[in-house]
């Protein structure tokens, strides 16, 4: 439920590839990912049901989901790249552009807004050097976005950084959180 990045980033994190780098397939025959996908398909009567999990594997390994990746996933699951794109664009968590090494999502929906989430957003933008929401910092380290309800409203303001939630975040805690990310 994020407001996905609105503009291409320039990040090249450990596992990410940029717009210009060639796409390296994820599900090459005999690879661990290929076996993982084959096992996953057995859980469903229709292999297309493995589409969301397959996209997660791509994003995990390549950092984002490029058009070439959509083609690869489509080939694996018997659907067209256009179909895959339709699905990718529906869900906000799939990155359609490279993002910073640390993808920071600040919840600002009403319960968090009560707790001053807007100030937390400002603090992250300022301290990371990201010029605006959705843009990646010049050093490629950070992308900050606002996210819709993270489902941790009693721990306002929750911030999701890559996989993990950080709870009860206030603007004052932002520098310390960023320092812990290196």
From residue 168, give the alpha-carbon distance in Å to each of 12, 20, 107, 144. Answer: 30, 39, 11, 17
Nearest to 49 by CA among 12, 87, 21: 87
- Does 70 bind another protein (CB under 8 A)? Our answer is no
Which residues neighbour 13 within 8 Å (Cβ) at sequence distance 6 or greater?
A: 63, 98, 100, 101, 140
Site string (13-52) toward another protein, x via CB under 8 A: ------------------------------xxxx-xxxxx
- Does 75 bind another protein (CB under 8 A)? Our answer is no
- Does 82 bind another protein (CB under 8 A)? Our answer is no
- Which of these segments, 8-16, 30-38, 90-98, 132-140, binds another protein (CB under 8 A)? 90-98
CB 136 within 8 A of CB 129: no
Least distance CB 67 / another protein (angstroms)? 18
Q: Of 10, 33, 148, 177, which one interacts with another protein (CB under 8 A)?
A: 148
CB 136 within 8 A of CB 64: no
- Does 64 bind another protein (CB under 8 A)? Our answer is no
Q: Of 8, 116, 129, 133, which one interacts with another protein (CB under 8 A)?
A: 116
Least distance CB 16 / another protein (angstroms)? 18
DSSP string, 72-95: HHHHHHT--HHHHHHHHHH-TTS-
- Does 61 bind another protein (CB under 8 A)? Our answer is no
Q: Of 6, 28, 91, 172, which one interacts with another protein (CB under 8 A)?
A: 91
Nearest to 95 by CA among 25, 5, 31, 3: 5
What is the rounded distance in angstroms from the CA atom of residue 118 to the CA atom of residue 106? 9
- Indicate the pairing of strand 102-107 with strand 164-166: unpaired
Q: Of 150, 169, 174, 178, which one interacts with another protein (CB under 8 A)?
A: 150
Q: Which residues bind another protein (CB under 8 A)?
A: 1-3, 43-46, 48-53, 55-56, 77, 79, 86-87, 90-94, 105, 108-111, 113-119, 147-156, 160, 163-165
């Amino acid at each position: 439920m994020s407001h996905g990045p609105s503009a291409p980033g320039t990040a090249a994190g450990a596992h990410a590839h940029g717009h210009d780098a060639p796409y390296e397939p994820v599900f090459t025959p005999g690879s661990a990912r290929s076996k993982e996908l084959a096992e996953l398909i057995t859980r469903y009567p229709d292999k297309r049901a493995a589409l969301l999990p397959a996209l997660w594997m791509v994003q995990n390994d390549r950092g984002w989901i490029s058009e070439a990746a959509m083609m690869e996933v489509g080939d694996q699951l018997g659907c067209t790249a256009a179909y895959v794109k339709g699905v990718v664009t529906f869900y906000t968590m799939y990155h359609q552009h490279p993002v910073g090494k640390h993808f920071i999502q600040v919840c600002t929906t009403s319960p968090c807004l009560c707790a001053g989430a807007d100030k937390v957003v400002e603090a992250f933008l300022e301290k990371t050097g990201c010029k605006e929401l959705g843009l990646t910092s010049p050093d490629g380290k950070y992308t900050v976005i606002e996210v819709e309800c993270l489902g941790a409203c009693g721990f306002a303001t929750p911030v999701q950084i890559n996989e993990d939630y950080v709870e009860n975040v206030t603007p004052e805690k932002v520098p310390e959180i960023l320092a812990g990310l290196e």
